Every structure is written in C-alpha cells, then in structure tokens.
Amino acid sequence: MSNVGKTATDTGRLLATVKELEGKLARLESAQPSRKELYAESKSIPETQYGFRTPREFLECVMKAYLDPSRSIDKRLQGLSTSYIRKQKAEAGIFVKAAGSDEASGANDPYGGFLVPIGFSPDMLKLDPEADPMAGKVTTIPMGNPIIKIPARTDKNHTTSVSGGLTVTRRPETVAGTSSRMEVEQVTLQASSLFGLSYATEELLTDSPISFSALLAAGFSDQFTSHLINERINGTGVGEFEGILASPALVSVAKESGQAAATILYENILKMRARCWGYGNAIWIANHDTMPQLMTLNQAVGTGGAVVWQPSAREDHPDLLLGRPLIFSEYAKTLGTQGDIILGNWKEYLEGTYQPLQNDESVHVRFVNHERCFKFWTRNDGRCWWRSALTPKNSTSTLSPFVVLDTRS
C-alpha cells in the first residue's frame, strides 16, 4: 500500500474514533448521575446534577481546584468532599469515596482512614475552682469527740467591764472592796457529716487509660473545698457550718439616705471599716459583680480625690481596699444584696474537724451490676464564736469581726 493510502486509512480511523468519543460524551451529558441518594440531604446542592449543568463543567472545576489550590474551592465541590459527606453521613454509617479518586488516603475511612489511630491525651481539662480566701485565717479546733464545748468569757459589753463582769475600784484604807464576778458561756461545736458518693462500672475502671478513681478523688476534693467556703459565708448552722451571715454577732451597715439600688458608696466602705473589730487581721471579700463599683470609689479631697481601691502592684498579691486585702469571690452575694461585700476578721471564726476528708470504695454495693461504689466524707463544724456584737464603752455603735452592708434595692 502506498504512503498516501496508508495516511488516508489512519485519518479515517482517527475520525471514527473522535466521532465515537463525541457520541459517548453526548450520552454522558444527557445521563442522570448515579448515587445521588448520598447527596440528597445537602440543601445547597440540586438533586439532579449536584449543581453542575454538565459533566464537563464538573471536570473543569475539579481541574481548576487541582491546578490552583490557592483559589477558593467551588462550593459545589465542597458539598462533594469526603469531609463534608462524612459529617453528614457519619451517624447513618455511610462512607463515600471522593469522586475521581483512586488512591488510599487517611481522609477516606474505608480506603485507609481506619488505619490511622486517634490520639488521646491523659491530661484532664478542668476549671480550677477559686482559692479558699479564708485558708489559714480561721482558728482551727482539733476535735477528739463529735461534740466539744469550749468555755468563753461573756465580755461583749464594755460599758462597765471588759472581762465578763469583773470590776476594780479605788478604796480608802480600812474600807471593804467591792466584789464582782466573771460571767462565762459555752460555745459548742458539733461535728456533722459532709458526704460524697459516686458509682463507676468495672469496664470503665479497667478500660480507661486515666485512673478514674484518681479523677474522682481530685474532683471531690475540689467540691468539698467549695462547699465549705460557701458554708462559712451562707451556712444556716443547722446540721452544717454557721455562716457569718447567720451569726448573731453580724453587724449590717445601713445604706445611705437616697442611695440607689445595687450601688456601693465610699460612705458605705468607711462605715463598714468603723464597725469592724480587729481590722488589722481582716480581709474584704466581694462578689465579682461589685468590681465596677469598688474600682471607681474615690475620696473627695478639695476639688480632686483619692482612689480608695488600690490595684496590686505585684503578681499573685491581692488588691487592697482601705489598706486591707480585697478578694473577689463567687460565694459572696450578688451586687445590691446583703453579703455582696464582706469585711471579716476570720481569726474569730472557729472550725473544728473530727474526721478529716477520707475516702473508701466497695465492689459489693452494686455487685450484680458490675459497678464499684466510691464514697468520700468528712465530719466537722464551724461558727463565729461571738454570740453578740461588742458594745464599746463610749459608743452606741457596736463592733463585730464580721460586717456587711444592708440590701440596697
């Protein structure tokens, strides 16, 4: 065969192949796409062609995304991505392979993703509770018995005696002295149980890479501390600590005439300071929502003023209010309520412990449930030992180790 004839034959074959391919492409463009049920839930993608008018348009978008990855991917392709489908279908257990892919990848669970392990950190994320503002300041009383009685001198009225009734007098020679006697009372601490309980399955205790019992112990330790802080302020004294707000010795300073609701004035702070016994040992405890009021307090001096609140100049040291530490705490009452700011000399608060915090566990309580029981407990009591505020010798304004503001509403 001549070269001319061979060339004509090859050309004919190529034309036939092109024609055949064009026919296949036309049929593909008119065909409905397969597996459309996997994408029907996507509201942004039409059910018929997934948002593409033709397969050619789809392939062009894929090529652009591949050739220029810096460009934003077409939203229609985002809806077909493996990560999107896995999010939409994970609960139904449906996994799809990315369109056009033929490689093993960690992005596709059936095609390699199942082989990639998931990491696990042994560290537990937690929010550390507030530090105990009274720690180291209360007077601790060891309790050898569940109930102890402590003698106390009844000396809270200084109009005639500071020693519970004893008096001394000047006397001339040969004249009999004046007799007096001392009055005493008893302060009672009665330990009650503060208890925590939790259950865990044996499977969890065996399978967890973190010691679950250690997590419980740490969690309950935080909870016990939090509970006792709250009781020192808000406890009723019946089967629990007597909080200072329930103490008969509490002094509550009246609000100023015409004072607006939910405010704290400079005059309030001065009068609280004036009514506090043992101010050199006292601290201020205030709710966080009082901060805007306290930070803007100032003492008028001529046409100027002096700031009453002093921010701490050193890290990890408290702010100061009238020279004494100011600690913001979530356990104080909300702004405008009695107890939103507390001035307290916690040395006058007794805290007795009969049994320190203990813990135990048992497999018998829920043996048939294959569960273990964990319990934590302590037995203690606490209260301000003053049974009344102190009446000074030459004033009608009583003094107390614990002072608050009346409600301002």
Query: What pLDDT, in 10s, does the model give residues 341-351?
Result: 999 999 999 99
Overall average pLDDT of the 102-127 stretch:
73
CATH class of 139-405: alpha beta
**Above 50 in pLDDT, residue 230?**
yes
Rounded CA Rg of the chain = 39
Q: Given pLDDT bands bounded at 50, 70 and 90, which one contains residue 41?
A: very low
Predicted local confidence at residue 85, as pLDDT? 47
**Above 70 in pLDDT, residue 31?**
no
**Above 50 in pLDDT, residue 43?**
no
Q: Given pLDDT bands bounded at 50, 70 and 90, which one contains residue 270?
A: very high
User: CA 115, CA 110: separation in Å to the nearest integer?
Assistant: 9
**Above 50 in pLDDT, residue 42?**
no
Predicted local confidence at residue 47, as pLDDT? 45
What does the pLDDT look like over 346-395, one tens digit per residue? 999 999 999 999 999 999 999 999 999 999 999 999 999 999 999 999 99
**CB contact at 8 A, 330 and 339:** no
Predicted local confidence at residue 78, as pLDDT? 62
**Above 80 in pLDDT, residue 94?**
no
Structure tokens that stand for 235 in this block: 């406890």
Listed by start position, the domains of the chain span 19-115, 139-405
Overall average pLDDT of the 288-312 stretch:
78
